[in-house]
Amino acid sequence: MTETKQDKKPIILSGIQTSGKLTIGNLIGAMQNWVKLQETHDCYYMLADLHSITVKQVPAELRKQTLDVTDMLLASGIDPERSVLFAQSHVPEHSMLTWVLTCNAGMGELARMTQFKDKSKQHADNINAGLFTYPVLMAADILLYQADLVPVGADQKQHLELTRDIAQRFNSTYSPTFVVPEPYIAPIGAKIMSLQEPTKKMSKSDENDKATLFLHNSDSEIRNKIKRAVTDSGSEVKMSDDKPGVSNLMTLYHIATGKTYAEIEAEFEGKGYGEFKPAVADAVAEYLRPLREKFTLLRKDEKMLKAVLAAGADQARRQAFKTVRKVYKKVGFIQL
């Protein structure tokens, strides 16, 4: 990202956890928008490894997953010449700002976060304080870079609202310091549903492997998971709130083929799920194959992946340091 002041574009920051393998939900809800927004914005894309340890991780696996996610982002079209791609743990300013923001966030507002409630149920044996303060770290991620826009899936909307509240509160308590960011939630694909429980978000940490399409899954795994996906009663292929299973498959088919929902409904009129599901299975398998192949190729060059992260951390730190210096001064710390 080498630009002069006069061609300054709006700023984007977004993050993705390195707590597992990426899913087609991550691809459609987040990564594809990240790639598009590179055209029009100055983008910071972050591997949220500090967030990942809010649930238990095996250290060697976390290291590997971080490189896997870096690779998948590059394979999907994130261009490190245009965007800053970095790991959160490489930029200490994230932790530095988090503490200040934690002292400006209320217990009550954090306790209302649905992700905290869900994850506390999911990880009842490890309800650590980091799981509770998770959204404050996310606010720090965003506010450090003075981001105008934050592309996320629909599940992160509540965290974005909290970030805006924290930013506005800080700005009025001290003086204007942070840009108050807007969420960017694409109208289609903002919530890809589980293949087994289509009223629930598809999640990389779902215990049921059949519920989730992973980007590294082979053609046959993809086909089998889609063919066995839970569909609704009846047989009509139609977009409808009372048909969450079929609607979810229609979204996947739309993304994979570019066909509109009306075209899909017409294509399968009178044909039923028996023909629809295999067609979705084939289209999605075709769609994901090139990404997987590119991923496999790039994964051989671990040195390159680490070099991308090192360069990204350098660039990210320059901006992050400026914000932290400003914040430390405003809250009353003596500058050395």
Cβ at position 176, least distance to ligand LTN in Å: 21
Q: How many CB atoms lie within 10 A of CB 233?
A: 7
Cβ at position 166, least distance to ligand LTN in Å: 13
Cβ at position 319, least distance to ligand LTN in Å: 15
CA gap 53, 129 in Å, rounded: 11
CA gap 248, 189 in Å, rounded: 9
Single out the segment in contact with ligand ATP by CB under 6 A; choices: 24-32, 39-47, 57-65, 270-278: 24-32
- Here's the x/- map for ligand LTN, 164-193, by CB under 6 A: it reads as ------------------------------
> Is the separation of the CB atoms in 292 and 216 below 8 Å?
yes
Which parts of 38-77 interact with ligand ATP (CB under 6 A)? 48
Q: What is the DSSP string of 25-61?
A: HHIIIIIHHHHHHTTTSEEEEEEEHHHHTTS---HHH
* 152 is a site residue for ligand ATP (CB under 6 A): yes
Single out the segment in contact with ligand ATP by CB under 6 A; choices: 76-84, 196-204, 228-236, 291-299: 196-204
- 21 tagged catalytic: no
Task: Out of 21, 200, 204, 330, pick the active-site residue.
Answer: 204
Site residue total, ligand ATP (CB under 6 A): 22
Cβ at position 19, least distance to ligand LTN in Å: 9
- 119 tagged catalytic: yes
Q: By C-beta, is 24 or 305 nearer to ligand ATP?
A: 24
Beta bridge partners of 23: 214
Q: By C-beta, is 80 or 153 nearer to ligand ATP?
A: 153
Q: By C-beta, is 157 or 300 nearer to ligand ATP?
A: 157
Distances from the Cα of 136 to the Cα of 113, 187, 278, angstroms: 11, 26, 44
Enumerate residues 6+ apart whose C-beta is below 8 A from 192.
23, 24, 25, 28, 29, 201, 202, 248, 251, 252
